[in-house]
Amino acid sequence: MIKIKPATATLHYSLIETLADTIWREHYIPIVGKPQIDYMLDKFQSVMAIEKQVEDGFEYFSIFYNGTLVGYISIKQETNALFLSKIYVLSYYRGKKIGKTAMEFIEQKANIYQLKNIRLTVNINNTNSIKAYEKIGFKNVGPLVTDIGNGFVMDDYEMVKLVRS
Ligand SMILES: CC(C)(COP(=O)(O)OP(=O)(O)OC[C@H]1O[C@@H](n2cnc3c(N)ncnc32)[C@H](O)[C@@H]1OP(=O)(O)O)[C@@H](O)C(=O)NCCC(=O)NCCS
């Protein structure tokens, strides 16, 4: 059974920091290399970074599968869209409709916030996730390159999904 619960306390952020460390190293080092992932984990997924993001309006949620923490989500309300900043599931648990269930949860949030679109960014070489997003109903709207400092860039596509209401 899949459950999605708000992550609101330092303990939750600490568990997400550990989860991110596992998932990002396994998934992204082959795509962008270790130096960039060391930098990005510290900049975006340390407890301190998460606390700062929450102050800035990001909401974090933990995903449980049969009681085990297996993933997390982060979203932020924007003027014209709900920004899906993070969606990560441990590799062992992928392909079990956890991402799809999480996306239904995110659509409900978009409806509550009266936002008609969900948008996300995904690395242009993150092929499996792009395929999953396409199956879930996202459309690629073009490349988006973001300078994240220290000589690193995020080389992404932006993808958008129209929310059913
Ligand atoms: C992307 C991710 C969140 C999807 O979660 P998931 O639990 O594996 O996805 P689901 O099992 O719910 O699958 C959703 C749909 O995508 C499809 N799909 C999933 N992985 C796929 C793949 N590698 N290739 C093709 N289709 C895929 C599924 O078949 C399903 O479609 P269907 O219902 O029509 O059969 C997860 O794979 C993940 O964490 N990936 C690595 C981290 C990452 O890149 N995160 C995104 C950062 S932008």
Q: What is the pLDDT along the chain (165 residues), one digit of tens a residue?
A: 999 999 999 999 999 999 999 999 999 999 999 999 999 999 999 999 999 999 999 999 999 999 999 999 999 999 999 999 999 999 999 999 999 999 999 999 999 999 999 999 999 999 999 999 999 999 999 999 999 999 999 999 999 999 987
Both tokens assigned to 100: 């799809």
In a domain, 164, yes or no: no
Residue type, 4: I
In a domain, 34, yes or no: yes
Enclosing domain of residue 106: 2-116
Q: What does the DSSP 8-state code read for residue 9?
A: S
In a domain, 29, yes or no: yes
Angle between helices 127-136 and 98-112 (to 10 degrees): 60
CA of 160 to the centre of ligand 1 (A): 16
Nearest CA to ligand 1 atom 19: 132
In a domain, 35, yes or no: yes
Cα–Cα dist 3/118, whole Å: 21
Helix (H) or strand (E) holding 105: helix 98-112
Report the pLDDT value the prediction gives residue 122, as an integer from 0 to 100.
Answer: 98
In this structure, the residues whose C-beta lies within 6 A of any atom of ligand 1 are 27, 87-89, 94-100, 122, 126, 128-129, 131-132, 135-136
State the total domains in the chain: 1
Report the pLDDT value the prediction gives residue 89, as an integer from 0 to 100.
Answer: 98
Specify the pTM: 0.96
In a domain, 138, yes or no: no
CATH number for 35: 3.40.630.30
| CA-only gyration radius of the chain, Å | 15
Report the pLDDT value the prediction gives residue 132, as an integer from 0 to 100.
Answer: 94
In a domain, 151, yes or no: no
Cα–Cα dist 120/78, whole Å: 12
Between vectors from CA 21 to CA 156 and to CA 104, what angle results, nearest 5°?
60
In a domain, 56, yes or no: yes
Report the pLDDT value the prediction gives residue 164, as an integer from 0 to 100.
Answer: 82
In a domain, 41, yes or no: yes
